[in-house]
Amino acid sequence: MNKNIILCGVGGQGTILASRLIASAAMAADIPIKTAETIGMAQRGGSVMSHLRLGEGAGAPLVAKGEADLIIGFEPGETVRMMPYLKKGGAVVVSKRPVMPVSAMIGQSSYDAEAMLQYLRDNVEHLTIVDADKAAEELGSARTLNVVLLGAAVRSGELGLTEEDLEGAVRERVPAKFLELNRRALAWAGTQERR
């Protein structure tokens, strides 16, 4: 099994922890993995992107444009920005909750999350849109978005890992007091748009 995966979002959304959970789960399953991370200038609010290459023969950790089997997008705008990396027939799992960039907040540019989601609907054959607000409401925490998206990626069939694989990584990497919340987040399969 070879999988090229990109996770993207903005600082503070848990993108890096999600990539580390995937890496831990892959290592525990004896799947070779290479990773690389790019973190924007701002710790919170800057662009964050993680490349993960699972399987034999991955010479470099970076996923080339047009080679990603799966993009897990924590934010619609960042997901659209990563679309050149998605291969033909690839899959996208994306949160529909926008995080408005600073430039839009101060009026230097516009931001239309629904237009970005529509672009994904029009251009991605295998798309899962996760209602992050509904997940936060039902789970009682917005801080589980990263694990909710990982669960949706497992159920998409494109991650190459099982829910049990990821649950083991959650047990290993998440503090005990947050373990049950994150286990429920991984299993959450609430409001989603799939095709």
- pLDDT at position 41 is 52
pLDDT at 19 exceeding the cut of 90: yes
How confident is residue 69, by pLDDT bands cut at 50, 70 and 90? very high
H/E element, 171: helix 163-173
Give the per-residue pLDDT at 57. Answer: 78
Q: Where residue 107 falls among pLDDT bands split at 50, 70, 90? A: low
Q: What pLDDT shows up at residue 26? A: 96
pLDDT at 188 exceeding the cut of 90: yes
- Range name among 44-53, 62-71, 83-92 with the lowest pLDDT average: 44-53
Tell me the pLDDT tens digit for each residue of 144-155: 999 999 999 999
Task: Give the rounded percent of residues in the chain with a pLDDT score beyond 90.
Answer: 76
Confidence tier at 135 by pLDDT (50, 70, 90): very high
**13-to-29, 95, 118, 195 alpha-carbon distances in Å:** 26, 11, 22, 25
Amino acid at 64: A
**141 pLDDT higher than 70:** yes
Report if pTM > 0.95. no
CB distance 16 to 37 below 8 Å? yes
Residue whose structure tokens are 């099982």 = 162
pLDDT score for 17: 93
pLDDT tens column, 29-49? 999 999 998 776 545 667 889
Q: Which top CATH class is 3-194?
A: alpha beta
Which tokens sit at 72?
Answer: 């897990």
pLDDT of residue 123: 97
Cβ neighbors of 169 (< 8 A, separation 6 or more) are 20, 21, 22, 24, 25, 28
